[in-house]
Amino acid sequence: MNRHRGYRSVAAGGLILAAGLILAGSAGCSANNEAPYVTPERLDSGLIVILPGLEGPSMNNSDQQQGLYDSGLPYAIHIYDWIGSQVGVSYAFDQPACRRKAAEVAAFIADYQAHHPGRPVFLLGHSGGGAIAVFAAEAMPEGHALAGLVTMAAALSPEYDLSKALVHCGGRMANFYTPTDWFLRGLTGIGQNLDGVPGATAGYDGFRLPANGSAQRARLFSSLRQISWNSSMIQRGNLGGHFGWASHNWIMADLAPILREWAPKYAARPAGQPAASATGPQSPADPGIPGQPAERP
């Protein structure tokens, strides 16, 4: 047993090094949370929060941000750097840190909602960011809800209980996965998902109910929208694999319409209700969203 654990520790150490080098190659891009993506007018319409994968803010997130912007959605589009100073891949072996970061994301969103009551907030996460997005949905304080939750290549075990997250987003959740994501499947096979479970991963297999799941869990799970990659997405730039979900054209054609569909289902603020404050939200890990609320006619 000890020898097995030793082999696993060595493999995990090698995994962190190898994955860190690969992910570093796609990183190196700071988040642009200024105009045209974040403006007072957009903030007064709503907010889309993008959580990067373990590489931190990268061109992948920038392409997602640009695709959402070019789709014509009227909301502010904010890339939230939740990684901080910790080595990204190490979060797979540090569940308490994952929960702390998710709580910070939830506080950030709740702060925005306090300043802009009634505006819809959509939370999107890719890879490790998909797991943090689910944890953040679970951590939303009482009286605060998401207009929608999207996971892409989520580094969570397939039977992870989504019940609380589904409640906090009104059942408006979509999970994008693909059996061509050998990168993620290899990482979770040698290492583990961000919920601490090794092996199969929802980014590769999708989420599923356990055989002994309760009726209530099954009812909530039925609201989950699961979309597997297919070859028709290639014409929209999504070639599959781990990073296909960052395709600008795919974001415009496939993801943005889902957010547009969900928006009317989220309770809108009373007509003419102004934003509560002139400042954007602040969080311990993020510099906040700049700008003044738009003047209302």
Model pLDDT, residue 267: 63
Q: Per the domain annotation, does 275 fall within a domain?
A: no
If one counts the domains in the chain, the total is 1
pLDDT in tens, 77-106: 999 999 998 999 899 999 999 999 999 999
Mean of the per-residue pLDDT values for the chain?
86
Domain that holds residue 147: 2-265
Q: What is the pLDDT of residue 29?
A: 67
Mean pLDDT, rounded, for 244-272: 85
What is the predicted pLDDT for the residue at 56?
95
Q: Distance (Å, rounded) from C-alpha 162 to C-alpha 164? A: 6
Flag whether 294 is in a domain: no
Look at residue 250 in the predicted model and tell me its pLDDT. Answer: 98
Q: Which of 34, 47, 66 is nearest to 251 (CA)?
A: 66
Q: What is the pLDDT of residues 169-208, one digit of tens each?
A: 999 999 999 999 999 999 999 999 999 999 999 999 999 9
Q: What is the mean pLDDT of residues 209-235?
A: 95
What CATH number does the domain containing 173 carry? 3.40.50.1820
Q: Is residue 280 in some structural domain?
A: no
Report pLDDT for 211.
87
Residue 72 above 50 pLDDT?
Answer: yes
Q: Tell me how far apart the alpha carbons of residues 260 and 270 are, in angstroms, rounded to a whole number.
A: 19
Residue 65 corresponds to which amino acid?
Answer: Q
Asked, for residue 272, whether it belongs to a domain, the answer is no
Prediction pTM value: 0.84
Q: How confident is the model at residue 277 (pLDDT cuts 50, 70, 90)?
A: very low
In a domain? residue 288: no
pLDDT tier at 212, thresholds 50, 70, 90: confident
